[in-house]
């Protein structure tokens, strides 16, 4: 596809997406679309660092901070989400730097990095549960309904408004993805993901580059959490933080494919439709069955289709386009520690 | 109450917390040993390790409460069951992914975590259940210790000694240690790596089963109980150095002390937070692990 053709396709697709809620108004379907867009943004945020071999299972923690800090500031201090969201993003960013800096500075990579970040999301979950006097613990938390200005409180009853907001946020994520894709940082990070020592020898500041992308990714994930909270108006530690949410992000990004901008979006469409179909299919009587089937499918999928659906599809469509870069030959190459 | 009396009581509580920390450390060390063994030999991290423990705790609950089997007969049965579960996990999920990128192996065991949690939810419901065995409290001077913790600590030590003897005194154990040193060459030496991997997975599972038998004496079982000690086990393994058995052992006791002493001043959850903060600080001081030689 030529550059102009690609741009035209994006334009037409976007116009159709914007026009959709004015033509089609089924509230349930719009609700699913909003969820898909918000989670797509979260998965895209994860893949920003995931595509460079930085496999984080701590993003559930960043998302939880985004959601809870925004809601807590609103309920306890009456701080508008317009201020609360940036504050929550800064909080997530600081946490990302505190955990990321020693990891990157001291070359904690591979299994070690995964386990450290995994523990991070577990700890955030513990903190939310432990501060149950403020956060409601595992019973969940509801931001107070705004009595005055709805815009100031970022609370809307109208699904169409939320759809457009979610669409904007999602588009922002895609734009950032492309911005990183075209930047010098991308080449530096690709070099790092292939060989850290060689990259360092070539003049790449390994720690700084990794920290920058981690910070960006954490900020965006916190934003996703805050938007999710404002839309759903109810959050529990299990739906916005913890190991399960982190795994869900990684899984969706891998399903969709990591190395194309729409991959995580595609992953969100598939996983959310699957979860929703299973949930409705099993009904309310069979609690847990949907997750059981979901988990089994997840394992089967990773064993039999490790490159992701969109990734595999694109590979088949244009195999002659280019020789894959070394780090693309595996879904994500994780450096071995210590050896 | 005078200042001196306050200090006396505080000291007693402090000493009690220190000793409770040591007792908790035994079980954590057992978990770290299992995870380290799997990582050291097969080069895979079982994210779902704590969920195997959860299944084992349910097995204990049903054998003892529902079928009325004695605790000491139920325990070996549970250990055997979880050992089989570990072998099955390797055979069904890890073996097909041995040559896949590590992230896929991690994700697959993450999927198993989902499966085990939702299986427990479907099969047993989300109620908290306990064994209903009330062990006496051991009074020592002014301090009280739970007999269950003491028993757990001793059993964990016995379990670790048994694994140590198996690894050093038997041919299979020697082969397992050799494989962890060089994966490729051992196949050429006539060792059936597939069989060794299966045995190692079964031992890893068995250790989770033993931990389950001990934890069920102190904690209620529910489908998400694994989340309360899974993350801490991972931190212990990273701090001790993945695959480093002695490092894991030392780190387990350090973490147990932090959790126990942190819990003295507030909730147990804050003990975990304190442990995580300590972990971050330790990364700056000893990035390659607690017992690593400085390069």
- Please write the tens of the pLDDT for every residue from B76-127: 999 999 999 999 999 999 998 888 877 788 888 988 998 999 899 888 888 8
A258 secondary structure, DSSP code = S
* SS3 category, B139: strand
From the list A115, A288, A295, the residue facing B45 with the nearest CB is A115
What is the reported pLDDT for A251?
A: 84
From the list B100, B272, B288, the residue facing A306 with the nearest CB is B100
What is the reported pLDDT for A234?
A: 92
Q: Which residues contact B2 (CB under 8 A, 6 or more apart)?
A: none
- Please write the tens of the pLDDT for every residue from B165-212: 988 898 888 888 888 777 777 777 777 888 889 999 999 999 999 999
Q: In this complex, do B103 and A334 lie within 8 Å of one another by their Cβ atoms? A: yes
What is the reported pLDDT for A329?
A: 47
Model confidence band, residue B235 (pLDDT cutoffs 50, 70, 90): confident
Q: In this complex, do B113 and A247 lie within 8 Å of one another by their Cβ atoms? A: yes
> What mean pLDDT do residues B144-166 have?
84
What is the reported pLDDT for A71?
A: 94
Exposed (0-12), middle (13-18) or buried (19+): which is B161, by Cβ within 10 Å?
exposed
Query: Packing angle between helix A263-282 and helix A289-304, nearest 10 degrees?
Result: 140
Report ipTM (2 d.p.). 0.78
List of chain A residues whose C-beta atoms are within 8 Å of the C-beta of residue B39: 111
What is the reported pLDDT for A149?
A: 78
CA distance B280 to B287: 9
* SS3 category, B243: coil
What is the reported pLDDT for B84?
A: 97
Distance between B89 CA and the closest CA of chain A, angstroms: 11
Nearest alpha carbon to residue B115 among B47, B68, B65, B181: B47
What is the reported pLDDT for A313?
A: 67
Are the beta carbons of A46 and A250 closer than 8 angstroms? yes
List of chain A residues whose C-beta atoms are within 8 Å of the C-beta of residue B119: 288, 292
Q: Which residues contact B84 (CB under 8 A, 6 or more apart)?
A: B202, B205
In the numeric block, which tokens belong to residue A14?
A: 């976007």
Which chain A residue's Cα is nearest to B89?
A: A299
**Which of B32, B42, B55, B102 is best to mutate for the A interface (most A CBs within 10 A)?**
B102
- Please write the tens of the pLDDT for every residue from A255-311: 887 778 888 999 899 888 888 888 888 776 666 777 788 888 888 888 887 666 666
From the list A103, A115, A125, the residue facing B237 with the nearest CB is A115
Rounded percentage of chain B residues whose pLDDT exceeds 90: 22
Model confidence band, residue B9 (pLDDT cutoffs 50, 70, 90): low
List of chain A residues whose C-beta atoms are within 8 Å of the C-beta of residue B239: none
Rounded percentage of chain B residues whose pLDDT exceeds 70: 87
Mean pLDDT lowest for which of A160-174, A258-272, B48-62, B130-144? B130-144
**Which of A292, A294, A331, A339 is best to mutate for the B interface (most B CBs within 10 A)?**
A292
Angstrom CA distances, A164 to A8, A123, A169, A269, B270, stand at 21, 34, 9, 17, 40
Model confidence band, residue B246 (pLDDT cutoffs 50, 70, 90): confident
Model confidence band, residue B291 (pLDDT cutoffs 50, 70, 90): low
Size of interface A-B (CB pairs under 8 A): 161
Q: In this complex, do B273 and A123 lie within 8 Å of one another by their Cβ atoms? A: yes
In the numeric block, which tokens belong to residue A296?
A: 């089994």
Q: In this complex, do A299 and B112 lie within 8 Å of one another by their Cβ atoms? A: yes
Q: In this complex, do B115 and A296 lie within 8 Å of one another by their Cβ atoms? A: yes
From the list A99, A129, A337, the residue facing B269 with the nearest CB is A129
What is the reported pLDDT for A254?
A: 81
pLDDT greater than 60 at residue B12: yes
Which residue bears the tokens 């916005």? A240
Residues of chain A with pLDDT under 50: 320-324, 326-339
> What mean pLDDT do residues B270-284 have?
80
Distance between B164 CA and the closest CA of chain A, angstroms: 24
């Amino acid at each position: 596809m030529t550059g102009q053709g690609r741009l035209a396709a994006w334009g037409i697709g976007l116009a159709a997406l914007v026009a959709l809620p004015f033509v089609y108004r089924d509230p349930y379907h719009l609700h699913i679309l909003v969820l898909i867009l918000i989670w797509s943004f979260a998965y895209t945020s994860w893949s920003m660092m995931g595509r460079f071999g930085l496999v984080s299972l701590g993003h559930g923690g960043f998302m939880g901070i985004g959601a809870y800090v925004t809601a807590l500031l609103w309920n306890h201090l009456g701080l508008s989400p317009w201020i609360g969201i940036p504050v929550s993003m800064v909080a997530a960013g600081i946490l990302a730097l505190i955990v990321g800096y020693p990891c990157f500075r001291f070359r904690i990579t591979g299994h070690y990095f995964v386990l450290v970040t995994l523990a991070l999301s577990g700890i955030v979950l513990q903190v939310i549960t432990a501060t149950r006097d403020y956060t409601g613990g595992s019973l969940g938390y509801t931001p107070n309904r705004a009595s005055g200005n709805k815009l100031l409180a970022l609370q809307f009853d109208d699904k169409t408004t939320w759809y457009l907001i979610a669409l904007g946020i999602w588009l922002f994520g895609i734009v950032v993805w492309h911005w990183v894709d075209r930047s010098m940082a991308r080449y530096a990070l690709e070099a790092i993901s292939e060989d850290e020592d060689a990259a360092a020898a070539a003049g790449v500041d390994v720690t700084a580059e990794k920290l920058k992308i981690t910070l960006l990714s954490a900020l965006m994930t916190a934003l996703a959490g805050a938007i999710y909270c404002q839309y759903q108006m109810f959050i529990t530690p299990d739906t916005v933080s913890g190991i399960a949410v982190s795994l869900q992000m990684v899984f969706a990004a891998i399903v969709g494919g990591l190395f194309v901008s729409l991959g995580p979006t595609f992953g969100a469409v598939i996983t959310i439709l699957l979860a929703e179909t299973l949930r409705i299919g099993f009904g309310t009587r069979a609690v847990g069955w949907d997750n059981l089937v979901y988990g089994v499918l997840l394992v089967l999928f990773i064993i039999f289709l490790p490159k992701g659906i969109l990734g595999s599809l694109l590979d088949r469509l244009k195999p002659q386009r280019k020789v894959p870069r070394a780090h693309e030959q595996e879904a994500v190459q994780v450096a071995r520690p210590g050896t | 109450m005078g200042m001196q009396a306050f200090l006396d009581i505080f000291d007693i509580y402090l000493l009690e917390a220190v000793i409770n920390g040591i007792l908790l450390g035994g079980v954590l060390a057992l978990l770290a040993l299992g995870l380290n063994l799997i990582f050291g030999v097969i080069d895979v991290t079982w994210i779902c390790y704590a969920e195997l423990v959860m299944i084992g705790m349910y097995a204990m609950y049903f054998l003892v409460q529902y079928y009325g089997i004695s605790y000491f007969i139920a325990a070996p049965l549970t250990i055997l069951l979880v050992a089989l579960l570990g072998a099955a996990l390797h055979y069904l999920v890890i073996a097909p992914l041995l040559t896949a990128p590590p992230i896929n192996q991690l994700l697959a065991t993450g999927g198993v975590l989902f499966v085990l949690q939702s299986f427990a939810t479907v099969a047993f419901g989300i109620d908290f259940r306990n064994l209903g065995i009330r062990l006496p409290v051991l009074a020592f001077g002014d301090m009280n210790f739970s007999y269950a913790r003491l028993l757990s600590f001793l059993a964990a030590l016995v379990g670790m000694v048994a694994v140590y003897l198996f690894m050093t005194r038997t041919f299979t154990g020697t082969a397992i240690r050799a494989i962890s040193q060089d994966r490729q060459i051992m196949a050429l030496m006539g060792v059936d790596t597939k069989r060794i991997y299966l045995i190692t997975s079964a031992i890893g599972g068995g250790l989770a089963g033993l931990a389950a038998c001990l934890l069920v004496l102190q904690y209620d079982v529910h489908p998400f109980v694994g989340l309360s000690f899974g993350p801490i086990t991972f931190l212990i393994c990273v701090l001790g150095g993945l695959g480093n058995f002695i490092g894991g052992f030392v780190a387990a006791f350090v973490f147990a002390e932090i959790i126990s002493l942190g819990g003295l001043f507030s909730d147990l959850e804050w003990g975990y937070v304190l442990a995580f903060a300590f972990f971050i600080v330790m990364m700056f001081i000893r990035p390659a692990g607690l017992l690593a030689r400085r390069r």
